[in-house]
Amino acid sequence: MTASVDVKPSPDRLYGRPRTHALRPRQQRLMDQTLPRLRFPAAAMADPATGFGHRPAQIWVEVGFGGGEHSLAQHAAHPDVGYIACEVYENGLCSLLSRLVPEDGAEDTAPLPDMLRVWDEDARILLRGLPAQSIDRLFLMFPDPWPKSRHAKRRFVHPEMVKMVARVLRPGAIWRVASDDPTYQAWVEEVMAAQDLFDTAPPATVRPEGWAPTRYEAKAIRAGRQPMYWTFTRR
């Protein structure tokens, strides 16, 4: 290892509120009727390829999909990939589900993608339960930066999480990270310099080809913040 990061262990619990405002009637129907049909089954944890409509060529995971636009774009561009999109916030879940079910559609019967699944619990539970070397790509797009130093333990990019991510990724698999927050950007550089499980490279400052845009990226650029885009490769 080339450096040392001395921080408290990442807490084994969720922080923040699961929703930002009360759900409207359609949103509640999406949560009650659509989400259960799209949820990645815990019973498939031991062999995640069985959690999709057919066995996927690869399995990708996105941690914290926000509004869902990145997950849906990646799924559309790679229809043979089994994609597990993780999000705990109900409003984000509703945003993704509403993109899949027409406004006048039946939330309990509308057709849903065979190769896209949603994990609506803490992503760390999923990553702990998946078999070693079972994932081909991981996405962390514009996560909550937890900018105060006393909250560093809550950041997903964390020395303990690096080990967890490394365990589930196959050799040669890619971990993509993007952030527009200067504190988080410096933190990513520090944490990844202190590990020897991933090959690292300087971040791109323009979204690379194949990276789908997100609303958070657009918001950052409008506000004059400079996003950075990292690609880490599992050794």
16: which residues sit within 8 A by CB, 6+ positions away?
89, 144
Angle at Cα 97 formed by Cα 85 and Cα 73, nearest 5°? Answer: 55
Q: What is the number of alpha carbons within 13 Å of residue 120 lying toward its C-beta?
A: 19
Q: Is 144 a catalytic residue?
A: yes
Distant-in-sequence, close-in-space partners of 106: CB < 8 Å, separation ≥ 6: none
Q: Taking a C-beta distance cutoff of 8 angstroms, is the pair 123, 64 a contact?
A: yes
CB burial of residue 19 (10 Å; 0-12, 13-18, 19+): middle
Sheet strands side by side (includes 116-119):
116-119, 81-86, 58-63, 135-141, 169-179, 228-234, 198-199
Annotated catalytic residue, options 6, 80, 144, 196? 144
What are the residue numbers of the active site? 144
